Structure 1
């Protein structure tokens, strides 16, 4: 494993932890189906790429504030069968990035807040 792969893994793991704890706020990205968040002077985006047979790859793109791409990596580049993420209970980094994408999507759409509000309303009936 090279140093860049290690840092890409660490970035995906830290984004996951911060998103899980609601410290990282995601917004709708520039492109449909992309979600982005600001980290310092940079924009970090997560995207899904549907391939043939409905297989999905998840990618993270780092851009400057003008949306000029600086770095990019995909789950398949950082996932190895014998390397589990250091956070969560994931079998590989593909599973972590898939869950990170889903969390960013739900946060952006307001799905979790709506669900919580509806459950609270139902509890009061």
Structure 2
């Protein structure tokens, strides 16, 4: 049985998330900004957000060639009927938005800059305690 294209899209998002989290994918920001590209084997993938109407932007993942021409692309909307296998995410919009946020922080150097500042302030690697969360019944909606 072969996987459908949508199944492949879902798996691609999950693998990119996993490998980005593990710092195994090197992302760079394009000249235009807001679009981030990573070389995977002999191909490149790009991620960006795109407003197509009211509400939240779509998160767009593309496969691009060496001249930055899009070969294939999809958005979180294409995966609206699917549930991610990544724990903690109830839909692909949430997963792809978080992937984009993490990619942007790595590609722009924001995460490295934050780590350097914390080190300069005397924090040791891994010393930063997790933030305290409000009890669920105290959360405002």
More strand by share: 1
The 5 A counterparts of 1:37-56 are: 37-56=38-57
The TM-score normalised by the length of structure 1 is: 0.88
Residues in 2 aligned to 1:13 and 1:54: alpha-carbon distance in whole angstroms: 24
Alignment partner, residue 62 of structure 2: 61
Compare CA radii of gyration and give the structure with the larger one.
2
Count of matched residue pairs: 121
Shift in Å, 1:10: 0.3
Q: Tell whether the 8 Å contact from 1:29 to 1:45 is kept in structure 2 after alignment.
A: no
Name stretches of at least 5 consecutive residues in structure 2 with no aligned partner. Answer: 124-141
Once the two structures are TM-superposed, the CA of residue 33 in structure 1 deviates from its matched residue by 0.7
Match of 2:77, SS state, is helix
Q: Measure the CA separation in 2 of the matches of 1:88 and 1:65.
A: 34
| Higher-helix-fraction structure | 1
1:88 offset after TM fit, Å?
3.6
Q: Is the 8 A contact 1:60 1:72 kept in 2?
A: yes
Deviations along 1:28-66, whole A, 9 cap, x unmatched? 125331000001111100010124445211010101222
Kindly report which structure 2 residues correspond to 1:7-26, keeping only aligned pairs within 5 A, or say none.
7-26=8-27
Structure 1 SS opposite 2:122:
helix
Q: What is aligned with 2:30?
A: 29
Q: Please report how far the alpha carbon of residue 92 of structure 1 lies from its aligned counterpart in structure 2 after TM superposition.
A: 0.7
Question: What 5-or-longer segments of structure 1 have no aligned partner?
Answer: none
Per-residue deviation, 1:86: 1.2
Q: Which has the higher contact order (CA 8 A, sep 6+)?
A: 1
